[in-house]
Amino acid sequence: MPRNFRSTQKFQKPDARFGSMLATKIINAVMNDGKKSIATAIFYEACEMAAAKLDDVTVEEVFEKAIENVRPAVEVRSKRVGGSNYQVPREVSPKRAQALAIRWIVGNARKKKGMPMAKRLSTEFVDAVNNTGASVQWKENVHKMAEANKAFSHFAF
């Protein structure tokens, strides 16, 4: 078994309907127990439901705008200096920002109970496109933490 790491990024294929790698990543985040066909159906249904609620957005733009609105610009990372831990604000790389946005949207959709996952995901998409909801609130909290700890930015890694 080779010891060197091989990225899975080159093995992922864009989804069938939109031809988008972002859609593939969201589908993989929605997927439970390796059931990709169910996750794909949930994602496509959620996109269609969200596009029906939002009149000025197409089905393809729904998840792209949602991810764009939830994507954080800065975050805080712990750094130990002289026996105490400081929360140091750092810029987030575009790849990590996208991963965090997907994780927050899917995670907040999972937290809502009482309706099918497609409906929960679609409401989360609609809220994210409108800059409201739990995912956008999560992003704003991360930005507030970074702003509050701006004094420690000179501890940058």
Q: What is the tens place of the pLDDT at every residue in 71-80? A: 999 999 998 8
Residue 88 within a domain: no
- 11 lies in some domain: no
Residue 119 lies in a domain: yes
Contact partners, residue 78, CB within 8 Å, separation at least 6: 85, 86, 87, 88
* Cα 34 to Cα 36: distance, rounded to the nearest angstrom: 6
Classify residue 6: in a domain, yes or no: no
Q: How confident is the model over 134-149, as pLDDT tens digits?
A: 999 999 999 999 999 8
Is 133 a member of any domain?
yes
Measured distance CA(56)–CA(20) in Å, rounded: 21
Q: Is 49 domain-assigned?
A: yes
Specify if 151 maps to a domain.
no
| CA pair distance 47, 17, nearest whole angstrom | 11
Q: Average pLDDT in the 99-110 region? A: 96
Residue 36: give its domain's CATH number: 1.10.455.10
For 105-123, what is each residue's pLDDT tens digit? 999 999 999 999 999 999 9
Report pLDDT for 108. 95
- The CA distances from residue 32 to 27, 35, 102, in Å, are 10, 6, 15
* pLDDT for residue 9 is more than 80: no
Q: Looking at the 3D structure of the chain, how many domains does it have? A: 1
Question: Averaged over 86-91, what is the pLDDT?
Answer: 91
Q: What residue numbers bound the domain in which 98 lies?
A: 16-73+93-144
Q: Residue 126 falls within a domain, yes or no? A: yes
